[in-house]
């Protein structure tokens, strides 16, 4: 079980997010609320908080001001904001995710799953050792499938696609491997700036990005002729990361 803190200066926004987390995230046993940085700072010092849901604009202050004060006490950080202009700054702050208001419940659940998976990986004692996706620092990935597991370089991945309870990895050389785990379980291991979740069903490798098109919806064009959808919510961050990658 995990604890959480919501920092938002707007009461309706705090109430809405609290309601969504209470209803859909039973793994969060405690959810504290703060309306300003002073209250949030006190709560972080008085309690063990696992996940912080942080707004950007807080009246005369910003969520980044909180990070300057108590970032060492924040285990996992998720931004929840109405502004899409701070996404790269959030990445530099090592945020787990960056959600735009109004909150999409699917994106919220994905963000919470990523945060809890990240926290579990940080735990000092691991339950049972078994083949799984390798550590973030490793250049290789191990994926479990129905007949065993396979090892390949992260750089070979063009994109990963959700396939129900499975994940399909599309690799260089027209190879495809179907892993026996859901896409969300790989997201914390395939992270920015190389990998990007462009859509709830896709994680793409920006190193294989060849272009972008808005002719038939927002689409990332990858090597091998693949056209991968980019959700409207993820488009601003996708364009920012793409420009940064090419600079």
In tens, the pLDDT along 118-156 reads 888 765 433 333 333 333 334 667 777 776 778 788 889
Q: Does residue 7 register a pLDDT over 70?
A: yes
User: Residue 132 has what pLDDT?
Assistant: 37
- Matching residue, tokens 């090597």: 223
Please state the rounded mean pLDDT for residues 153-173. Answer: 91
Residue scoring higher pLDDT (169 or 150): 169
User: Residue 89 has what pLDDT?
Assistant: 78
User: Residue 127 has what pLDDT?
Assistant: 37
User: Residue 247 has what pLDDT?
Assistant: 56
Minimal CA–CA distance to 110: which of 221, 233, 7?
233
Degrees (nearest 5) of the Cα angle 43, 45, 46? Answer: 65
Please state the rounded mean pLDDT for residues 31-54. Answer: 95
> What gap in Å lies between CA 117 and CA 21, rounded to an integer?
17
User: Residue 246 has what pLDDT?
Assistant: 62
Minimal CA–CA distance to 173: which of 187, 191, 153, 193?
153
Q: Does residue 158 register a pLDDT over 90?
A: yes
User: Residue 118 has what pLDDT?
Assistant: 85
User: Residue 192 has what pLDDT?
Assistant: 56
How far, CA to CA in Å, does 193 sit from each of 27, 108, 187, 190?
Answer: 28, 21, 12, 9
User: Residue 126 has what pLDDT?
Assistant: 34
> What gap in Å lies between CA 3 and CA 117, rounded to an integer?
14
Q: How confident is the model at residue 211 (pLDDT cuts 50, 70, 90)?
A: very high
Please give the structure tokens belonging to residue 154.
């992260």
Helix, coil or strand: residue 21? helix
Q: How confident is the model at residue 193 (pLDDT cuts 50, 70, 90)?
A: low
Judge contact between 183 and 189, C-beta under 8 A: no
């Amino acid at each position: 079980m995990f604890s959480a803190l919501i920092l938002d200066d707007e009461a309706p926004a705090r109430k809405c997010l609290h309601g969504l987390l209470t209803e859909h995230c039973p793994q969060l046993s405690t959810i504290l609320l703060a309306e300003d940085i002073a209250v949030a700072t006190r709560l972080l010092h008085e309690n063990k908080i696992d996940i912080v849901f942080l707004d950007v604009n807080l009246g005369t202050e910003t969520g980044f001001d909180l990070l300057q004060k108590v970032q060492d006490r924040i285990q996992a950080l998720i931004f929840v904001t109405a502004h899409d202009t701070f996404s790269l700054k959030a990445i530099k702050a090592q945020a787990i995710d960056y959600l735009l208001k109004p909150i999409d419940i699917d994106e919220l659940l994905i963000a919470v799953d990523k945060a809890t998976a990240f926290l579990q990986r940080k735990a000092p004692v691991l339950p049972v050792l078994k083949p799984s996706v390798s550590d973030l620092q490793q250049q290789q990935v191990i994926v479990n499938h129905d007949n065993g597991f396979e090892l390949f370089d992260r750089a070979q991945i063009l994109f990963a696609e959700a396939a129900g309870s499975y994940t399909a990895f599309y690799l260089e050389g027209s190879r495809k491997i179907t892993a026996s785990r859901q896409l969300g379980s790989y997201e914390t291991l395939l992270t920015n700036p190389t990998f990007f979740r462009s859509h709830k069903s896709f994680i793409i490798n920006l190193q294989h990005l060849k272009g972008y098109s808005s002719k038939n919806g927002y689409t990332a064009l990858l090597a091998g002729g693949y056209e991968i959808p980019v959700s409207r919510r993820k488009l601003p961050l996708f364009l920012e990361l793409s420009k940064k990658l090419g600079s």
